[in-house]
Chain A
Amino acid sequence: MAKQESWTKKDLTGIEELSRAEIELLFRQADRFLPALAPGKGLDLMRGRTVVNLFLEPSTRTRTAFEISAKKLGAEVVSINTTASSLVKGETLRDTALNIRAMGVDAIVMRHSSAGAARYLGNALDISVVNAGDGAHEHPTQALLDAFTIRQRFGKIQGLKVTILGDILFSRVARSNILCLTKLGAEVTLAGPATLVPATLKEAYPQVRIVHDLKKALSGADAVMLLRIQHERQTTTHFPSLGEYTSQFGLNAERAAWLKPEAIVMHPGPINRGVEVESEVADGPRSVILEQVRNGVAVRMAVLHLCTGAIAR
């Protein structure tokens, strides 16, 4: 496969828009940023630039990771969260964004509850827009850091068996990961209750395997990605209770033994200990959860650097 040498996209709104070569280019950039993660280290590639984190849905982890990523690159960062936002006063997203743009900002990192919002904003603005999660659509930096972590552990992604377990239907993390992993050549299995992992997902993503039996889903897998069970979104119609979910699909040591011996356990956080995963697994030797968090900074540095660099100053 031809190596892509330069990045041309001002926005990162989804994995869907990225080619395999672009993803690999981004990983090589993230590799180069790993040393800057050490305490006391930092770069000045984005000195004089300003990044606005526009978070219209609650988030601590992703927003913090983006703030640190921008600061490690020397950029100024301003974070706007939903309660401080003028959007609650009825201003449109376009107007809010145009106002931020008018203040001389280089990039907007946005989290929004509506699918497609990041693409809408990217089309509306001539500055970089990075999607930090849009409804149930995509969360591209999460998928990139997940794949980056797998690549770091196994030295490759092609041919690996990855199982994504949990609420696929409402999950932007799952969508971005399905796209990212299949583009990189992994074999993806989706697992969980039939209400959250409907068989029709196969029509949307023909490359994936859909399994509702946990043992089948985990046996022979190189990696399992657990998704946070978000009861508030799933209402009462999609599964009966958290206890029932845990009894059917929660990952404990006994079930983790179905995985390959060298398999890893991943989670985008925040973890519901005792719901989708038991502490013995989350804190055990298979867990790469904190490596994911660390890699997330390097990957987001690469995204901010490449996207803002794609616009001629």
Chain B
Amino acid sequence: MNTAEHTPLWIRGARVIDPSVGRDDARGEVFAKDGRFVDKLSKSDQARAQVIDAAGLILAPGFVDLNCRLGEPGRGARESIRAGTLAAAAGGFTSVVTMPDCLPAADNVGTIQLIRELCARDASVRVLPAGTLTKGHEGKALAPIGSLKKAGVVAVTDTTSGVQNNEIMRRALEYAAMFGLVVLDHCQDSSMTDGAQMHEGAWSLRLGLRGYPRAAEEIVVSSDCVLAGLTKARIHLQHLSSGGSAEIVRRAKAAQASVTAEVSALHLLLTDAALAQYDTRLKLNPPLREEADRQALIAALVDGTLDAICSDHSPCTATEKDCEFDLAPFGAATLETAFSAAYEAIVADGHADLNLLLQRLTCGPARALGLDAGTLRIGGLADVVLIDPKATWKPSAKTLLSKSGNNPLLGRTLKGRIRSTFVGGQLITKDGQPAK
């Protein structure tokens, strides 16, 4: 992204919240020049700056998403880097970590280079690719992690394939740690989830759908915490869905284990009861679980057990989801609605204030992976969002920017809206639409 030759930016009048330094100014100013935050603009820069009066809005660092998919390469019908990164910006995300289960898989330098080329051409936000942990994310042989790191991956993961073999996981952790790469793990014991369609509970029994028990996640969360202790390597646990998982992480953190964890915004808002009509858009992996899990995840997010909120943007085409529940792929398009979903679940429902929510969307995830993002620090990348916490809005298929049609919150009245998103000091989206 070329951000060097741009007009300076001067945003004033907003309430400025930067959780990375505990800043909360009722009426603050933010300046950017040449793509980075500066503490002031010269007279001549002021004269030519883009001046934004943001009275009544919240200004925060651009959000950091540790778990999304942008379709390309290989799944261009589901999403494109052009549409997906605009959707990210519309949702307030300015840095996104992409999962490596594209086609071909990001288990080799060539694919990472291809992703970077596509992003240089099409991306509106910072795309930070993750590479696979094992070849073809098959869990059998280690991927060339050192070469992947050199090619630019920010983390390694076998994403929803998971790693089923503890010996391979142990060695992968040791090997990745040598390069300073955090391992992201999707926690699923697949021997317990053969044919599973949704959370195992009263609803799966009523609907006659194969259940995905909490234990299938909790067992792997436990083994990951044990292996983090053994290897001293950093593990980040992806999209936890079970209250029991949160409790295991809480205990591991108390014992100084090197683990961090995230939750998806949808899991903070919805439960398995939402599947009563077999809505394939809500067929997710991990599945939506029960109200007790949702409450436990909220509590864990608030007390810091969970470090980050992710979008878990996993676009599918409308056609792919228009079928029998068993046959539908897992995943939902969520980048544009993740903030509003989390805002409703956490802030509007009174569990915590906006500062905490923003921490979990900005420096929380950035620190988990050691990313240069999620802060308004002078000299840092000038990625900014303006938020209207009082606005309500209704996402519609016509106006959402993601190429995918499977956002499960379409038509729902949401609270809290991203007004403007800036990357490197440049306005990318305004009120959910491209600025240009």
* B-binding residues in A (CB < 8 A): 16, 92-94, 112-117, 119-120, 134-138, 169, 172, 175, 198, 200-201, 203-205
Instruction: Quote the shortest CB–CB distance from A65 to chain B (angstroms).
Output: 22
Across the interface, do B322 and A204 meet the contact criterion of CB distance under 8 Å? no
B350: interface (CB < 8 Å): no
Contacts of B2 on A, CB cut-off 8 Å?
none
Contacts of A93 on B, CB cut-off 8 Å?
323-324
Cα A136 to Cα B325 in complex, Å, equals 12
* A-binding residues in B (CB < 8 A): 197, 200-203, 205-209, 277-278, 319, 322-327
User: Which residue of B205, B277, B327 is within 8 Å of A200 (Cβ)?
Assistant: B205
Q: Which of B201, B202, B208, B278 gathers most chain A CB within 10 Å?
A: B208
Q: Told that A116-B209, A116-B325, A135-B209 touch, could you supply 13 new A-B pairs with CB distance under 8 A?
A: A92-B323, A93-B324, A114-B324, A116-B278, A117-B324, A120-B325, A138-B208, A169-B205, A172-B208, A200-B205, A201-B205, A204-B202, A204-B203
Residue of chain B at shortest CB distance from A137? B208
The 4 closest A-B pairs by CB, nearest first: A137-B208, A116-B278, A136-B208, A114-B324
Across the interface, do A120 and B324 meet the contact criterion of CB distance under 8 Å? yes
Instruction: Contacts A119-B278, A120-B278 given; indicate if A200 touches B325 (C-beta within 8 A).
Output: no
Instruction: Contacts A114-B327, A116-B278, A203-B201 given; indicate if A137 touches B322 (C-beta within 8 A).
Output: no
Across the interface, do A204 and B324 meet the contact criterion of CB distance under 8 Å? no
Cα A85 to Cα B405 in complex, Å, equals 29
Across the interface, do A114 and B205 meet the contact criterion of CB distance under 8 Å? no
Cα A92 to Cα B322 in complex, Å, equals 9
Cα A120 to Cα B279 in complex, Å, equals 10
Across the interface, do B324 and A203 meet the contact criterion of CB distance under 8 Å? no
Residue of chain B at shortest CB distance from A138? B208
Contacts of A169 on B, CB cut-off 8 Å?
205
Contacts of B278 on A, CB cut-off 8 Å?
115-116, 119-120
Contacts of B202 on A, CB cut-off 8 Å?
200, 203-204
Contacts of B326 on A, CB cut-off 8 Å?
113-115, 135
Across the interface, do A119 and B277 meet the contact criterion of CB distance under 8 Å? yes
Cα A172 to Cα B208 in complex, Å, equals 7
A/B pair count, beta carbons within 8 Å: 64
Cα A136 to Cα B210 in complex, Å, equals 9
Q: List 14 A-B contacts (CB under 8 A).
A: A16-B206, A114-B327, A116-B278, A120-B324, A136-B208, A137-B209, A138-B208, A172-B208, A175-B208, A200-B202, A203-B201, A204-B203, A204-B206, A205-B205
Across the interface, do A112 and B324 meet the contact criterion of CB distance under 8 Å? yes
Across the interface, do A114 and B325 meet the contact criterion of CB distance under 8 Å? yes
Contacts of A200 on B, CB cut-off 8 Å?
200-202, 205
Contacts of B319 on A, CB cut-off 8 Å?
92
Instruction: Quote the shortest CB–CB distance from A262 to chain B (angstroms).
Output: 32
Instruction: Quote the shortest CB–CB distance from B203 to chain A (angstroms).
Output: 8
Contacts of B200 on A, CB cut-off 8 Å?
200
Residue of chain A at shortest CB distance from B209? A115
Cα A175 to Cα B319 in complex, Å, equals 30
Contacts of A94 on B, CB cut-off 8 Å?
322-323
Cα A197 to Cα B261 in complex, Å, equals 35
Cα A207 to Cα B346 in complex, Å, equals 35
Contacts of A134 on B, CB cut-off 8 Å?
208
Cα A138 to Cα B197 in complex, Å, equals 17
Across the interface, do B277 and A203 meet the contact criterion of CB distance under 8 Å? no
Instruction: Quote the shortest CB–CB distance from A270 to chain B (angstroms).
Output: 21
Contacts of A120 on B, CB cut-off 8 Å?
278, 323-325
Cα A35 to Cα B205 in complex, Å, equals 39
Contacts of A205 on B, CB cut-off 8 Å?
205-206
Q: Which of A112, A137, A201 gathers most chain B CB within 10 Å?
A: A137
Cα A236 to Cα B202 in complex, Å, equals 24
Contacts of A201 on B, CB cut-off 8 Å?
205
Residue of chain A at shortest CB distance from B205? A204
Across the interface, do A116 and B205 meet the contact criterion of CB distance under 8 Å? no
Cα A198 to Cα B211 in complex, Å, equals 12
Contacts of B325 on A, CB cut-off 8 Å?
114-117, 120
Cα A101 to Cα B24 in complex, Å, equals 62
Cα A172 to Cα B207 in complex, Å, equals 10
Across the interface, do A135 and B205 meet the contact criterion of CB distance under 8 Å? no
Cα A254 to Cα B197 in complex, Å, equals 41
Residue of chain A at shortest CB distance from B326? A114
Cα A8 to Cα B42 in complex, Å, equals 75
Residue of chain B at shortest CB distance from A92? B323
Instruction: Quote the shortest CB–CB distance from B288 to chain A (angstroms).
Output: 16
Contacts of A203 on B, CB cut-off 8 Å?
201-202, 205
Instruction: Quote the shortest CB–CB distance from A240 to chain B (angstroms).
Output: 19
Across the interface, do A115 and B201 meet the contact criterion of CB distance under 8 Å? no
Contacts of A115 on B, CB cut-off 8 Å?
197, 207-209, 278, 325-326
Across the interface, do A175 and B206 meet the contact criterion of CB distance under 8 Å? yes
Q: Which of A92, A116, A117 gathers most chain B CB within 10 Å?
A: A116
Contacts of B209 on A, CB cut-off 8 Å?
115-116, 135-137
Residue of chain B at shortest CB distance from A94? B322
Cα A198 to Cα B201 in complex, Å, equals 10
Residue of chain A at shortest CB distance from B325? A116
Contacts of B203 on A, CB cut-off 8 Å?
204
Residue of chain B at shortest CB distance from A202? B202
Across the interface, do A135 and B208 meet the contact criterion of CB distance under 8 Å? yes
